[in-house]
Each structure stands twice: as structure tokens, then as C-alpha cells.
Structure 1
Amino acid sequence: MATKTAFRCASGPPRRVYRSSVALLSVLVLLLAGLVACGAQHERVAAAPGEVVSVTPVLGSTTEQTADYLKDWAIQTPVRNGIDAYRVVYRTSAPDGADTTASGLVVLPRTEARRLPVVSYAHGTIVRKDEAPSADAETDRARTALFAAVGYAAVAPDYLGLGEGPGSHPYAHVPTEASASADLLRAARMVAAREGREFDGTLLVTGFSQGGQAAMALAERVAAAPDLGFTLAGVAAVSGPYAVREVQAPAALDGRISPRAAVLYIAYWLTAMNRIYRLYDEPGEAFQPPYAERVEQLFDGRHDILSVSTGLPATPRELLTPRFQALALDPTGEALRAMTDSDGACDWTPRAPVRLYVSSDDRAVPAANAERCHAALGGDRASVVDLGPVDHSATVRLALPGILTWFGELTPAP
């Protein structure tokens, strides 16, 4: 059974076995820092971003076990080593800037290398808290583990409100996708130090669907914030909704996005953004009956995707009131601000290479998103990679092996 180690004031250190004197020295330094922090707790005003709250081992496997684990999830990749994975709860910022906590997955390779490059993987749309990478759902945990299986340190943010994060998830909110992802990197550095490892400062970023958007948001944050201590080496974003106002919203109403997927995305996004921007005072202003009575409860983090889908109508026009159908196509006021705040993930000029993976037949996130993102990035470092006529879910399966190979060319694992 997994055990939980909390970073808190205590009468003595947790009893653990460390593999080297270097690791022991790292732990002693951290414990001393913790004691100093404990002595000054009454003076603290705000928690430090990335401060570790707790660490829970969730997976430990040999090379052979790791290979079998990835094979079970239909992930074909060469496996060089075993892995150790941890659920990490850490301090970060809420949409209003207040202190909060989030959780994420940190996976370390079982290798002799002390200094490790890092891969950050951002997951796609999920509606239930326990579907997050650090929780019990395995798909995104396996996708994160594949990078550690060849020697990288790998991290996967749950984002706010998922996993063990409190409250509701601010779905597709770029500012907090960026902050939660960046603060997990800070926390992961501390976890690695506890295990006698350190990050070499090189960062590779990838993500799928909502995670494609989150990956670009993190990459922009890292490029603009050298104080994070990471140098961006490459970005591989798969099927991300980078252009909510110009592509996703109109495509949801004109049929380019399949109606069922469009209904899910619209309802999830509106209920999440309403908590931040106050788009409506009562659900009936945005949603038609009988859905107005239950739509917010469907996205409480406890319903699965089937429950949510069967509780919503078949088409966006059955879901939205005429006023909100119009706002989707011509946003004003807080609706415009909500879209604008999350449409900036590609508004920067990268120095590292960026690949935007798409499918021409994607009926959930149209390829036009990547075209807009590519145009916004500018320069000669970004490119669009067409994966062919496959559906949305197939894009990540097709892209990941190539991304792993490309990352190995950019920054080989030790």
C-alpha cells in the first residue's frame, strides 16, 4: 500500500532508506530549511508557489514491469529502465490569485544518472477528479511514464480542481493551466532532490487536446520566466484548442465539431468560466430548460463522462439560449474577456522548436486551431505536422512515439 509523506513541521524526519550519501545530504539540507520555515511560520503571509505539501508513492516498477505496464496501455516504446511515480500536492494560485493547492504526477527513472532533463506532459479533457494523472486513472499516467521509461524525469499536472485539488476545475483556463504546470515543476525539483537527483534545467513540453493548449501555455511561461530555472528545448503540442474565439466557438455551432462533443465542451467551459468571469447570474440565462437545472451539478468532479453526456442534449442549439448562441459567435463584455484570456497561449515567439500535431479529420478540435497558432507564433521555429485523416483520440496515439524520438534527438536522456 502506498504511504504518504507530508512536508510539515514534525518532531523528527520520516524514516526512509536513501541510496547514497548525496541523497542523505540533500535531505538534511531540506529538513534544516523546513525547520527554519517552521520556526518562522507565524511571520508568513503567503505560501511559496511550488511548495510541497505531501508526496505519496503511487507506482514503482522494474524495467520488465514497466515494459509490461506500458504494453497494457498499448504504448509501444523501448524501455530502458524501471520507474518510481509519486502523487505530489503543492502550493499554487487560484484564478483570482489566492493561494490554493493542486496535485500532479512526478515520475523518476531508476537509473544511475543524477542529473536529469525533464518532460512535462499535459492531459486532455477529463470531467471526474479521479481521472487525473496522479489519481487512479491510468491512461495519462502511462503516457507520462513512457518518458521516464527511457531516462527522463517526467511530470504531469492534474490542473486546478482535479486529482486532489480543492474546488472545481477551471476548464481550459490558460492562465491557471500555465501557473499550475509551472508550479509543479518547482515542486518536482524538490521531490527529485529528496531522492538524490537534480534537474539539469532542460525542459521538453508536450500535451494532448486541452493539454496541447496547456503545453503551449507552460512553454510561453517558461520562456518568459528565466527565474523558473528551466531552458525550453522543444514543444510538441497535439490537437490543442488554441483559438477559442476564432475557431472552437464558431466550429461548435456550425458543425465542424461533432454535436455531442460540442455540447460537452460548451457546457464545461461556460460553467467553469462563469465562476471566474461571472458570465451569468442564473444558469437559465445561458442554458435552456431542462438542462439549466442540472448543468452545473454535472460538472462537480464526481460525474463520469457518460453521466455528463447523457444529462445534456444532442446539439448546442438545444443547450444554449439564443443570447448565448449569439455571444459564442460575437462575444462581448466578460465573455470576450474569458475567451481573450485563454487565447494567448500562442502569442509569443519561440526560440526552441515547436511542433503542432493535427488531423484534418479531427471532429473535436479542428486543425484550424493549429494553423492559427502557427501564424501567431511567427518566426521559423514552429511547424505543423499533419497526422493524416484520423479522429481526435487517435492523434495522441500516433503522435507520442514520434514525439519521444524527436525529444531524444533534441535532448537525449542520460
Structure 2
Amino acid sequence: MKRVSRILVVSAVSAALTAGSATAVVAQGSDAPAAAVVAPVGTQVSRGTVVSVEHLRTLTARQAAAELTGDEAGAWDTGAVRYGLDTFRIVYRTVDPYGRPTTASGLLALPRSGERRLRAVSFTHGTELFKGDVASVSAEVWDQAPALTYASAGFAAVLPDYLGMGLGPGPQAWMDVPSETTAALDMLRASRTVAARKGRELRHGVLVTGFSQGASAALGLARSLQEGADGWFRLRGVAPVSGAYAFRDAALPALLAGRTDPKASVIYTALFLVAFNRLHHLYDTPAQVFRAPYDRTIEGLLDGTHTGQEVVAGTPDSLDALLTVRGRAMLAHPAGRLAAALRVTDGVCTDWVPRAPVRLYYADGDEQAVNANTAYCHAALRAHGVDAPLVDLGTPDYGGSRHLGSQQAATAAVVRWFRTLR
């Protein structure tokens, strides 16, 4: 189904893409209906424990290639397609931003390669506003393409939905790198369990990538793996794409100065304030930072139950119409709790020294995640003695967006690089 006006990423509004649907992916090509395996109620479980697993689809290599090339917004590269694959929706145990037990969901795609031991690729997605616009729920090619690309190339593709997205309870903890990291790590653990039930083994070394919001999440997961957060998995390589790595010094100034797509700027600014207020208490009432009438509607509009199309329709076209003087000043000169939160968000490039190979992918003139973000990350890593090559993707286009185009172009480039690291 053609989409209209959907925000897909930390940085992306595209009127050529569409409003999401909550329609779940159904099993295709399997001999039996999708079945769930559920953990017994009341059992003592730990992080990464599988709550349920449901087989969604079986695709041949030809079917996977046809799906990738059939995207109305632009065909995906199929040069790495070798195998058919199976996809599974997993619900698993994890923790919320306060360390309390909760659940999250994600998609696992396993290649029909005949190989028993598989290298895992963790892909963390860009910003989604609607809970159903994630790979474990949505059938859209945009959401499925990374899983299809990596699995058909022979990898186990592991795609966490993040907290509050997919089948996860509550609102999403947007750009909260610590909880994105725990959700991604616990999805890897759950995927290892599910793979073992299918007679497969996920190898120790994990290849980590992510786009836009997911680029920061990928670096958070990479750091966690390198620091030994899991007894089995280790970092093998990391390839973030078009991230907002420097929220304080690059992303926010670009939004406020009008150097990004105007409508995207409005929605990301609103999402930023609402999400960070939930975790860090930046304001007492919405009216302190949002102008009327949006002060009465914006928090409800961004609760995950509204489609991108609804959010586009329910927000103004300029930051001046959205923000109060206090709201703009808060973003222009972060202090107190906000400054502390941004130090954590922006620490993905500054507070560790990767020992595994790193490549930073970006598109020239990205209209959503300005290139200053990537330059900032590259400089920070180089200051630590890390050689992190910049990979210029040129000016790719997906539905009229270079930012979205960078995910499509990078997926083809990253899978080729990852195959050299296996």
C-alpha cells in the first residue's frame, strides 16, 4: 500500500512516503500457521529471555529480491542476495530507562543458507512515530529491507523495535541511548535463544549498524559489547549511518537555525522535548515550552498511537508557531538536566575508544541529519586515535529525501563491507 507523509527516521519527513498501518506481517509460504512459543507465566526470567516467538514469513531468494526491487519509492540493491530466509517476531524481557523489568519486541531474520553457525548483524532503525511502523509489525519494504538484505546475504539479521515500539508497552524513550542499548543487547540475547531452537548458533562476533536515531543506538550497543556487557557476544565491526551524534553542537543548532527541512524540524523538536521531559523533567507544563493550541495536544499526539500522517497534520509548519520563547531558549542554551542528558546522548562518539573496525556513512547535503553530526563524530574518534573512515554516499534519493536515501545506499554498502569482516 502506498504511504503518504510518514516520518521514518530521526531526521525525516517525506511527503512521498506514507501514513503507516498497524497491519501485522503474516506468514507467507510456510506450511503451517504462525505459532507463538510463550514463556510460562510466573517463571523467574532474566534480561533477554524470550516471552514469545512467532514465525512470520518464509521467502525464497527470488522473492526477497523481488520485494527489494518492488519498492515504489526506489529499488533496493539486490547484489548481495544469495539465500532465502525466515523471519520471526520476538517478544523478550528487558528493562526500562529506570532499570525496571519490561518487555520489548523485534524481528529476527535467518538465512536458508544451510550454515549452522551464523554471524549476527544488529540493525537499529531510525525514528518512527507510530508503534506499528517497525520491522516486527510492518510489511512495508522500508521497514523490511535491512532484514531482507542482511539475511539473504547469509547473516542473522537482528532488528530491535526499541522500548514502546512494536509490541512494547508505553511510550518510546526516543534518543535515550542507554535504554536503546539495553533493548538492542537483550534482543541479541533473545535472538540467540530462538536461533538455537532452530538448530542454529549465533557466533560471538556481532556486526553492528543503524540509521539516523539508530546510528546513535548502534554506537551505544557497540560500546556495550566492547565493554563486555554480555558473556557471549563481542563487537566485530560497527557502521553507523547518518546519525545525530552531536545533538547539542550540531543537530539542535541546525534545527533552530532553519538549516533542516522545516516540517521535520518541528516534529523532531516536539518529539525531543516530549520524550526528554518524560525522562528528565525539563518542564512542569507543556504550555511552558509549546504555544497554544499545541500545548494541549502535542504530548498525546506523540504517544505512539498516531500515524506519521496524523502527526504531520497536527503540528505547525514552523518552530516559531510551535515554541514559546522559553522553549526556544531551552534548546538554544541547554542547561541543568537537559545539558546532562545531552552529554549522555552525545557521548556515543566521545566517551569510548572503539577497538573494532568503524566506518561512518553519510549523504552529501543531508536535509535532516546535517553533515556536521558526522564530522563531529569523526573528529572525536580521531582525537582518540581511532581510524574511522568516512564513507560518502553521494546524493542518494528515496522518495525525495537524501536522508532516507542514505539508508538505502548504505544498506548496500555496509553489507558488502560486513562480508569482508566475517
> Which residue does 1:250 correspond to in 2?
253
**Matches of residues 375-394 of structure 1 in structure 2 within 5 Å?**
375-377=379-381, 378-390=384-396, 391-394=402-405
Question: Does the CA-based 8 Å contact 2:95-2:182 persist in structure 1?
Answer: yes
**Matches of residues 144-223 of structure 1 in structure 2 within 5 Å?**
144-223=147-226
CA positional deviation for 1:339: 1.6
For each residue in 1:143-182, what CA deviation from the matched residue of structure 2 results, as whole angstroms up to 9, or x when unmatched?
A: 2121110111111010000000000011111111111001
Normalized per residue, which structure has more helix? 1
For each residue in 1:327-352, what CA deviation from the matched residue of structure 2 results, as whole angstroms up to 9, or x when unmatched?
A: 11111122212222211111211111
> Which residue does 2:377 correspond to in 1?
373
CA positional deviation for 1:321: 1.1
Give the Cα separation in 1 of the matches to 2:375 and 2:266: 24
1:325 to 318, 325, 328: 328
CA positional deviation for 1:5: 1.9
**Matches of residues 13-412 of structure 1 in structure 2 within 5 Å?**
41=43, 44=44, 47-73=45-71, 74-77=75-78, 78-138=80-140, 139-225=142-228, 227-346=230-349, 347-377=351-381, 378-390=384-396, 391-411=402-422
Question: Does the CA-based 8 Å contact 2:158-2:188 persist in structure 1?
Answer: yes
Structure 2: segments with no counterpart, 5+ residues: 1-26, 28-32, 397-401
Structure 1: segments with no counterpart, 5+ residues: 11-37
Give the Cα separation in 1 of the matches to 2:223 and 2:188: 14
CA positional deviation for 1:71: 2.2
Give the Cα separation in 2 of the matches to 1:379 and 1:196: 41
TM value normalised by structure 2: 0.86
Higher RCO, 1 vs 2 (CA within 8 Å, ≥6 residues apart)? 2
Structure 1 residues 402 and 173: CA distance shift in structure 2, 3 A: same
- Higher CA-based Rg: 1
SS at match of 2:340: helix
Give the Cα separation in 2 of the matches to 1:226 and 1:332: 31
For each residue in 1:221-263, what CA deviation from the matched residue of structure 2 results, as whole angstroms up to 9, or x when unmatched?
A: 1111253422222111110111111111111101222221111
Give the Cα separation in 2 of the matches to 1:151 and 1:208: 21
Give the Cα separation in 1 of the matches to 2:307 and 2:230: 39
Q: CA RMSD in A?
A: 1.6
Amino acid aligned to 1:362: D
> Which residue does 2:39 correspond to in 1?
8
Amino acid aligned to 1:66: A
> Which residue does 1:22 correspond to in 2?
none
Give the Cα separation in 2 of the matches to 1:355 and 1:87: 29
Question: Does the CA-based 8 Å contact 1:351-1:381 persist in structure 2?
Answer: no
SS at match of 2:339: helix
Give the Cα separation in 2 of the matches to 1:68 and 1:385: 28
Question: Does the CA-based 8 Å contact 1:4-1:54 persist in structure 2?
Answer: no
Give the Cα separation in 1 of the matches to 2:364 and 2:113: 40
CA positional deviation for 1:87: 0.4
SS at match of 2:334: coil
Question: Does the CA-based 8 Å contact 1:352-1:381 persist in structure 2?
Answer: no
TM value normalised by structure 1: 0.88
CA positional deviation for 1:118: 0.6
SS at match of 1:54: strand
SS at match of 2:248: helix
Amino acid aligned to 1:98: R
Give the Cα separation in 2 of the matches to 1:277 and 1:221: 23
Percent of aligned pairs sharing the same letter: 44
Give the Cα separation in 1 of the matches to 2:178 and 2:260: 25
> Which residue does 2:5 correspond to in 1?
none
Task: Spell out structure 1 runs of 4+ moving beyond 4 A.
Answer: none
Give the Cα separation in 1 of the matches to 2:281 and 2:180: 19
Structure 1 residues 337 and 4: CA distance shift in structure 2, 3 A: farther
For each residue in 1:284-315, what CA deviation from the matched residue of structure 2 results, as whole angstroms up to 9, or x when unmatched?
A: 11101111110011112121112101211111
Question: Does the CA-based 8 Å contact 2:353-2:386 persist in structure 1?
Answer: no
SS at match of 2:394: coil
For each residue in 1:80-121, what CA deviation from the matched residue of structure 2 results, as whole angstroms up to 9, or x when unmatched?
A: 111010000001110111111000000111121111101111
Question: Does the CA-based 8 Å contact 1:105-1:141 persist in structure 2?
Answer: no
Question: Does the CA-based 8 Å contact 1:242-1:345 persist in structure 2?
Answer: yes
For each residue in 1:57-98, what CA deviation from the matched residue of structure 2 results, as whole angstroms up to 9, or x when unmatched?
A: 111112222222222232222321110100000011101111
